Amino acid sequence: MKVEVKWDPAAIRKIQEAAKAAAVEALEVTYSNLVESKTMPFDNGIMQNNQTHVKLDNVDLSGDGKICIALTTDAIQARRLYYHPEYNFKQSEGANGTRGAKWLEPYISGEKKDFVANEFAKAFRRRIGQK
């Protein structure tokens, strides 16, 4: 039995672009959910609203086609606040005492651990024309 495979470079590029766009979209939805959940420390809103964003790094230094897409906070205090739950975090209206350290933990190993993957799958399916 002989099998011949023909690659369609245009179709492969379309899938790669759909995956990249879906990843960015999934992290943007995750960021919106993070803001809505009111778990990130919040004083005047600069760290949450102005210094946290989805970052896309198209530089492929490894040569294997991998790129970096991340939800990142550029605030200098972010690392200190993230790893120190003992701080007395100010609670804003509607936060119900949930603002504090390790605000991404629900998305990593907690109740929302499948959130990003599910959002990516929805966005990717939509972008490649599946329901």
Q: How far apart are CA 76 and CA 73, in angstroms?
A: 8
Q: Give, in degrees to the nearest 5, the angle at Cα 129 between 123 and 131.
A: 70
Average of pLDDT values for 92-99? Answer: 77
Q: How far apart are CA 54 and CA 29, in angstroms?
A: 10
Taken as a whole, the chain contains a residue count of: 131
31 vs 66, which has greater pLDDT?
Answer: 31
**For residue 31, what pLDDT is reported?**
95
One-letter-per-residue 3-state SS of 51-68: CEEEEEECCCCCCCCCCE
Tell me how crowded residue 87 is: count the other CB atoms within 10 A of its CB. 11
Task: Flag whether pLDDT at 10 surpasses 70.
Answer: yes
Q: How far is CA 104 from the centre of its chain?
A: 10
Token duo for residue 93 = 């209206």
In this prediction the pTM is 0.85
DSSP state, residue 49 = I
**For residue 2, what pLDDT is reported?**
94
Q: Read off the pLDDT of residues 37-92 as tens digits, 9 standing for 90 and up.
A: 988 988 888 999 999 999 987 766 666 767 788 999 999 999 999 999 898 888 87
Residue with tokens 């470079």: 9
